[in-house]
Each structure stands twice: as structure tokens, then as C-alpha cells.
Amino acid sequence: MAEPKENALMEKIVSLCKRRGFIYQSSEIYGGINGFWDYGPLGAELKRNVKELWWNTMTRQRDDVVGLEATIIMSPAIWKASGHVDTFSDPMIDCKTCKGRFRADQTGEIPCPQKPSKMVSECHGEKTAARAFNLMFRTFVGPVQDESSVAYLRPETAQAIFAQFKNVLETSRQKVPFGIAQTGKAFRNEVTPRNYTFRSREFEQMELEFFIKPDEAVEAICGTVATAAEVSEAPPSAPQPSTLNPQPNWGWQLWHQYWVEERIAFYQGIGLPRTTLEEYWQKPEELAHYARACVDILFKFPFGTQELEGIAARSDFDLSQHARFSGKSMGVFDEELRTAWGKLPKEKQDDLWRRYYENRKKYLVKMGVAEELASKNATEDANGLAKGQYIPHVIEPSAGVDRLILALIANAYSEVTETDDKGKSETRVILKFHPRVAPVKAGVMPLLKNKPELVKKAHEVRDLLRPWMNVYYDDAGSIGRRYARQDEAGTPFCLTIDFDTLGEKPELKDTVTIRYRDDGKQERVAISELLNWLLPKVR
């Protein structure tokens, strides 16, 4: 995998992002801070658009997902339950000679600070054995700074959703299957942040936890758990990008497949062609112990094909952990299951009971619960089925905002070389963003800035569009220069107010020229029709 500095396209992207105000190094005037990046005016708009589209698609457009906005600092008990306190770490070695600290798996690539001609693994410094270095940022809450006041900056947004699952369930009138969505900052004290904004220490996530019935409950209610083939032919009840249409008889496999399709459709809908994306189905040996399946959606970045989002089927692991650590029930009551269970033949009941029992027991034993206690607890859990009780399973589509922004910029980046009348060539950049994510939707330009009638009309057009979309008013320089500036900012449409707008050609009165970013083509549209023309394209 090429590092950005060795990568010509990445160099151009980094330079453009700085020059046009998409991305700056954090704290640049103080020499920067490694692994932290700020979004400038265009970047902030691009990022807002992406987050808004995700939120709308994942929550507002659906009956079965609600939102949450939890804090970054939470009780440290949450990270104990999730396993982050104990296992979210990199192995590090210390060099007693140079006092440096290095990732144990990278000592062969890092030059010795004292003898840079040798790698750390080859130098003569006296090194400690590898020790776990936790990637969570620590801080202290309250006036006293000791172990009792330690807290962490969340390394992911997901855990807050599990911790608030019962509150949301009880206050939102949702029933399983349903989801809880959240966007927000997360923090990982990466030892080696790299690839520009791709792997940074402060980043933003967009995560959905979609809670579903365990397969045993689905089978009790519906008789069988559907396989893909059975349902793909069912007609969808509402328009949706996935070819799959959720059905009551879906188990975790179909829900997982559904969310993979939904998420790929989302990326396509904001302008990433299918050919730039790859699906990577993790192999059984790569899966986390609690995961039943995990699909990574990858994008072909200039520095390699890398993950945009992971979609994991996490079983009932997370809610079970929080139930055990908090002592609070994370179970739900399902009237349908209770009713259905009573009507099942004894044989079927026994079969479902046994399968549920075995899954529960397997989880408990894996978590270190003693065999006997695990059997007892799993028995209680399985007995719950008859009463309509279970712990929901979860499908987790988890996306990184910053890497998606970088993917959108990399995908949009293109250059055009033009030769003027005097034979002079110039290469300039066009950012071909999908209009939905473009930071500015329309540039509004009077042909000349010193003609008050043109300026007045251009202000009218600006004020007409502005309540509905982000527009940029520009009256400085030649119209060609202004178009080029908007091309570089990724603005899909430029509207020019000229003398025809004022009625020089009577048939063109009160029309504007719309000039397309990607091919430079132009057409005339009546001002009265502008909103109808633009809105469906930019939303």
C-alpha cells in the first residue's frame, strides 16, 4: 500500500483540500497536532450534507428507526462491559535506552531515534517486553484526579445505543425489529495516524444498531425462518433502494443481507459508483468471537482499497454484556411470541428451547461464567421464551464520516486541460460531486458587477434559492474564471444573469443561463421555474 506522500493523486487532493478550504491541519499555526484535522468552509458543508443524508435515510425516511444523541464521556463501566477497557489495545514496547515507545508489530519499519540508519528491531537499545497500550483517551471527571474518577472518550458511538436501549424502547413506541441511529465524534489514540484523514485520532461515526428477534423467536412465530430465495420475490410495500423487502419471517441472515444492500445503495445514491466499491465478507476465522457475520464495504482509495463501513451481525452479545454488568434486564416482552409459543407442539417448543439455551450457554461460558451457573442462567433465559421474553440480536452498520468525505473527494477529483486562443494550455480541477452532497448547490452570477439591473436581478435569484439550498454569489472576475472557481469547489450548477434576463431578447426575459459543471453545457430556464428545476436535482 502506497503512503500518501508517494502518491501523486493523494498529493493533489491534499493540496486542493487546503487551498480551497475543505480540510486544514488542526492547530496548524502551532505546528499542528498529529492525527487531528479541521474542516474548512467547503469541507464543513460537505460533511453536514453527508451526515444529514445519512440521518434522513436511516431515521426520518423510515418508521422503524429512531435517533439518539449521547455524550462522548460516559460511565467507565460501559467500556468495562463492552470489553474496551480490557482488550482495546495495541502491543507496545519501550526502549530503555532512547526512552521511545513503539508498536511491537512495527519495530521493523520504524528507524531508531538515536541511530536512524537502523530500525528499532535491529538497534542496540534495551527493550521491554511488549505490553498492551489501550487506545482509549483517558481523562478525569470531577475535582479529584485518581483511579475512581477516570473516564474515557468514547472510542465508538455504538455502546451508548446499547446502554440506552431500554430507555429508548420504553419511550419511543417502537417494537423489535427496530433500530437506533446515532452520529457523533469518537476518539482513538492511534499510535500511527496515517493516510491523511483516513485514520485519525478524532473522527466521526454514523452508526445504526438494528435490533431483531432471535431466530428461535422468529421460527416460533412464523413456523420457519426465511432464506434469501423465498423473500426476494415479495413485492416491496414502500419504495426502497434495497431489492429486499423486510418480512416477519426474516432471521439475522436476511436482515444482515438487507442492511448490506441498503448501505451500498446509500453510497451509490450519493455518487460513489458501484465499481469503486467492494464487498468483503469476513472469513469465519476473522470474525470477532460474538459476530456471526461481518461485511466490510470498501472503497478504492488512491492509497489502496480500504474500509468505509462494517456491517456486523453481532448476535445478542452487546445487550447481554450490559445486562450482566449493570444487573438490569435488557430483555424485551414480545406478545406475538407469547401467543405463538402456546400454540406450538411440545416437540417444537423443546427444539427451540434447546437451541436458544445452547446459544445462551455458549455465550456465558465464553465470557468466563462457570459451567454450572451458565447452565442455570441459560435455562432461565430459555424459559423466558414461553413468556414472550428474549434479548434482541443486533445488526450494526457502522460507517466513518471522515473516510467517506475523503472517498467522495477522491472520487469527485478530475482534471481538465484547456487551450486558449493563444495556444496556452491550463489544467484545472473539477470536483464532480453528486449534487446531493456538493457543498454549494448553485453559483449565482450577474454577468457584470457594474450594471445595477443585472446585480439587482442576481440578488433576487440568490434570495429566491437561498432558503432552499446553499448558494454562492459571485460577481468578481470574468465569467469563465467564476465558472472555474465553482468547478473546483464542486458546485454542480452556475446560474448567470445576463442582458437576455433583463429582456434584451424579449423571448428570454426573466430566464437565466444554467451552466453544468461536468460538461460545460448550458441551457436557459425561467426564474419562475428555477426552484422546481433545481430542487429535485440537489435533494
Q: Segment 452-481, which members bind a second copy (CB under 8 A)? A: 459, 463, 466-467, 470, 473-474, 476
For residue 72, state whether it binds a second copy (rule: CB under 8 A).
yes
3-state secondary structure of 111: strand
Q: Please answer whether residues 515 and 521 qualify as being in contact, where contact means their C-beta atoms are separated by less than 8 angstroms.
A: yes
Q: Minimal distance in Å, beta carbon 216 to a second copy?
A: 25
Candidate list 1, 77, 234, 370; residue touching a second copy; CB under 8 A = 77
Helix (H) or strand (E) holding 261, with range, is: helix 252-269
90 vs 500, beta carbon nearer a second copy: 90
C-alpha grid cell, residue 395: 445488526
Residue 386 makes contact with a second copy by CB under 8 A = no
Which amino acid, residue 166? K
Tell which residue, 408, 309, 302, has the closest CA to residue 22.
408
Residue selected from 5, 71, 129, 425 as contacting a second copy according to rule CB under 8 A: 71
Q: Which residue has the cell 440568490?
A: 462
* Rounded Cα–Cα distance for residues 43 and 20 (Å): 9
- Give the footprint of a second copy on residues 228-267 (CB under 8 A): 237-239
Cα-Cα-Cα-Cα dihedral sign, residues 109, 110, 114, 117: positive
Instruction: Name the residue type at position 471.
Output: V
138-157: contacts with a second copy (CB under 8 A)? 138-144, 151, 153
Chain centroid offset of residue 5 CA: 26
Q: Is residue 312 helix, strand or coil?
A: strand
Select 24 or 280, whichever has its Cβ closest to a second copy: 24
- Of 280 and 473, CB closest to a second copy: 473
Does residue 163 bind a second copy (CB under 8 A)?
Answer: yes
Name which of 110 and 291 has its Cβ closer to a second copy: 110
Q: Which of 289, 428, 505, 539 binds a second copy (CB under 8 A)?
A: 539
Q: Tell which positions 428-447 bind a second copy, by CB under 8 A.
A: none
Query: Which of these segments, 249-257, 264-272, 322-330, 413-421, binds a second copy (CB under 8 A)?
Result: 322-330
Nearer to a second copy, 72 or 365 (CB): 72
187 contacts a second copy (rule: CB under 8 A): yes
Strands 471-473 and 442-446: parallel
Footprint of a second copy on residues 7-66 (CB under 8 A)?
A: 18-21, 24, 26-41, 43-45, 47-48, 52, 55, 60-61, 63, 66
Taking the least distance from each CB to a second copy, the nearer of 37 and 363 is 37
Helix/strand/coil for 116 = coil
Please state the φ and ψ torsions of residue 86, each to the nearest 5 degrees: -85, -30
Q: Closer CB to a second copy, residue 289 or residue 466? A: 466
DSSP for 498-525, written as a single string? -TTTTTSSGGGTTEEEEEETTT--EEEE
Q: Which is nearer to a second copy, 55 or 280 (CB)?
A: 55
d(CA 82, CA 85): 8
